Amino acid sequence: MRHEYAYGVSSCLPEEVSPEDLLHFVQGHWGIENKLHWVRDVTFDEDRSQIRTGTGPQTMATLRNLAVSLLRLNGHLNLAQATRYYNAHRHEALRLIGA
C-alpha cells in the first residue's frame, strides 16, 4: 500500500475551520486551476506568449477565456481536439460564434 502526503500553509486556526472544509477549499482552488488556467497554459500555450505590454496580455487572456467558454458551451470536452478541428474548419468556427 502506498501513501501520499500533501502539506499546506494556512492562516486559519484549527478552531476556525475543519479539516474537511480546508480540503474542500483546496480542491475548489485546484478545480479552477485545472479547468481554466491549465487549459490556457497547455492548449493555448499562454506561457510562451510574446504579448507583454499595455492591455495586450489582458485582452488575450479574455479572448482565450471566451474561446474556452464557447467550446465548453457547445459540448466539447477535449478542448485541444476541438481547437484543432476549428483551426482546420474555420467556417465552422465562424458559425460557432454566430458570425
The predicted structure's pLDDT at residue 99: 64
CB-CB contact of 93 with 86 (8 Å): yes
Grid coordinates in use for 70? 464557447
Spatial neighbors of 80 by CB under 8 A, at least 6 apart, are: 42, 43
Write out the DSSP string of 50-98.
---STTHHHHHHHHHHHHHHHHHHTT-S-HHHHHHHHHH-HHHHHHHTT
pLDDT tens digits, one per residue of 81-96: 999 999 999 999 999 8
Q: Where are the domains of the chain?
A: 19-96
The tens digit of pLDDT for each residue in 20-65 reads 998 888 888 777 777 788 889 889 999 999 999 999 999 999 999 9
